[in-house]
């Protein structure tokens, strides 16, 4: 099998990514000792398609239980290392936010908007426990929700959750305290806005379209049209995650009692951002802004992670 089809990355790209992930620090369970390359390829192969451990065991020449242990250990390691970074990437400072707004405006977008905001519902297999938490009456499915920010360079630098399956987008935004983070970054500078759909109405830092249930002017209709044209970027970003890492696309196999389903999607999103750093995507091409390099993206996350660990250790003492 072609390594690029199994793992989504080429051999050279895999060797480029691995040094940033600190895989040598993993304490493996049950005395397994995979090499960093083998462990990372098992993770990629398991996420790229809903393969059973037995199928990967034949490829890697190991038992299915060995494959399962390696996969869960590396998944847990990456989630612990990058969870806070996935929540809000440290490169989102005012200068970068301002450059996003300029790129959007130059591409024909409205001035003062720097990114796109939306929620996504991730369906899972019906749980035998906590069904009220997972069930969405609107979707008529069990699952959980996330809130995402998509920037013009094609990345998803903020991904907050999981939330209850029934929670609406505005409640997620308020619960995430994202507005407080933005106001701290924008303090003393020109106010720049997020763009969200009509569910985010009445929020200070979010621009939403005019409601169609009222009579609106031609200029307001044009405003709505321009915003909706840019909003497709969010759907493309979510689609990239699912297309690259199809293990998240088959809800019948996502059982919350037997696997960390939220971690699967979070790490899939992290890997999608790495893929975008290496290849760009439709979003970055549309707005003519190059994605950050893999080094810029992952070194920032690694340094920030170490600073957080050091801070937590000091607070614990």
**Residue ranges of domains in the chain:** 3-85, 92-285
Q: What would the CATH number be for the domain defined by 92-285?
A: 3.30.420
pLDDT score recorded for residue 55 = 87
pLDDT band of 40, cuts 50, 70, 90: very high
pLDDT 10s digits, 76-122: 999 998 888 899 988 888 999 999 998 888 887 778 888 889 999 99
d(CA 267, CA 76): 9
Phi, psi dihedrals of residue 206, rounded to the nearest 5°: -120, 130
Identify the residue with better confidence: 67 or 221: 67
pLDDT of 309 > 80? The answer is no
Tell me the pTM: 0.88
| Helix intervals (H) in the chain | 3-7, 11-17, 36-48, 53-60, 64-87, 94-106, 131-134, 169-176, 178-186, 218-244, 261-279, 282-287, 294-316
d(CA 283, CA 54): 37
d(CA 87, CA 168): 18
Summary mean pLDDT of the chain: 86
Identify the residue with better confidence: 296 or 216: 296
């Amino acid at each position: 099998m072609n390594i690029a089809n199994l793992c989504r990355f080429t051999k050279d790209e895999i060797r480029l990514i691995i040094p940033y992930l600190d895989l040598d620090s993993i304490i493996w369970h049950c005395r397994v000792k995979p090499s960093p390359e083998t462990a990372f390829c098992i993770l990629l192969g398991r996420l790229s398609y809903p393969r059973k451990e037995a199928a990967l065991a034949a490829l890697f020449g190991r038992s299915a239980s060995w494959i399962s242990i390696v996969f869960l250990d590396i998944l847990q390691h990456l989630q612990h290392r990058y969870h806070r970074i996935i929540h809000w990437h440290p490169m989102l400072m005012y200068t970068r936010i301002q450059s996003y707004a300029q790129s959007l405006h130059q591409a024909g977008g409205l001035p003062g908007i720097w990114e796109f905001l939306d929620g996504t519902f991730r369906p899972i297999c019906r749980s035998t426990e906590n069904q009220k938490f997972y069930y969405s009456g609107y979707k008529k499915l069990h699952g959980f929700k996330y809130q995402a920010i998509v920037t013009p360079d094609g990345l998803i630098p903020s991904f907050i959750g999981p939330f209850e399956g029934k929670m609406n987008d505005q409640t997620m935004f308020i619960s995430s305290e994202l507005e407080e983070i933005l106001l701290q970054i924008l303090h003393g500078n020109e106010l720049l806005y997020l763009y969200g759909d009509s569910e985010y109405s009445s929020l200070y830092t979010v621009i939403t379209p005019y409601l169609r249930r009222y009579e609106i002017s031609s200029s307001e209709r044009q405003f709505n049209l321009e915003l909706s044209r840019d909003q497709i970027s969010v759907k493309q970003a979510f689609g990239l995650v699912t297309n690259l890492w199809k293990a998240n696309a088959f809800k019948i196999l996502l059982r919350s009692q037997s696997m960390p389903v939220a971690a699967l999607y979070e790490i899939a999103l992290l890997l999608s951002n790495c893929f975008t750093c290496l290849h760009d995507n439709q979003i970055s091409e549309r707005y003519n802004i190059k994605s950050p390099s893999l080094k810029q993206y992952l070194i920032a996350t690694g340094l920030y992670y170490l600073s957080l660990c050091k801070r937590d250790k000091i607070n614990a003492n």
